[in-house]
Amino acid sequence: MSTNRAEQRSKARRGFSLVECVVIIVALAIAVPASVAFLDRASQQRELSLDIARATSLAQAVLEHVLADASSSTPGLGLPAFADGTAYVDTAVTGLRARLALLSAPYEAAGHTWTLSVGGLVDPTGVVHADPMQNNYRIVTVTVNFRDPSGADRSVPVSTMVGGI
């Protein structure tokens, strides 16, 4: 008879009791939202990393063209072109923005925009020298702006010094 009772108990233990089901549901109710929030934050961080990488890549591409223009002997380019930064960037057809339209289009489609600022003449250390003959360089900064996944505005500035004698 004892074996029959053991068999009956094992048959009765095959399912979950109501208490066990409630405990499992409560545990899932606590764990799942925390996991979803963690995954959402991880996804936002990944997207932000991609945006920063894109912004840096765009800034570097623009600066590569600026460096090429600084050493160019083409009329309208070279170091003298930087004297009027606005004209250098925004002149129709020949300005930097027009020449980089195809390059920057995919970045702009992803929400990235860029601006370029050209500083005044400085010496090789980056400061204005008392002797104007020493001031043969300009600091050029490309700033790429975008909106991060949380909706905040971000910017990535990248600078270099261009010059010539």
Average pLDDT of span 96-118: 95
Given this model, what pLDDT does residue 5 score?
Answer: 66
Pairing label, strands 137-147, 113-122: antiparallel
**67 located within any domain:** yes
Average pLDDT of span 28-37: 76
**71 located within any domain:** yes
Given this model, what pLDDT does residue 23 score?
Answer: 84
Count of domains for the chain: 1
**98 located within any domain:** yes
**2 located within any domain:** no
Q: Assess whether pLDDT exceeds 90 at residue 64.
A: yes
Helix ranges (H only) for the chain are: 2-12, 18-70, 85-90, 96-99, 101-109
- Mean model confidence pLDDT for the chain: 87
**35 located within any domain:** yes
Given this model, what pLDDT does residue 76 score?
Answer: 84
Neighbours of 128 (CB within 10 A): 12
Given this model, what pLDDT does residue 99 score?
Answer: 95
Domain that holds residue 153: 16-163
Q: Assess whether pLDDT exceeds 70 at residue 69.
A: yes
Average pLDDT of span 106-135: 92
Evaluate if pTM is beyond 0.95: no
Q: Assess whether pLDDT exceeds 60 at residue 62.
A: yes
Q: Assess whether pLDDT exceeds 90 at residue 12.
A: no
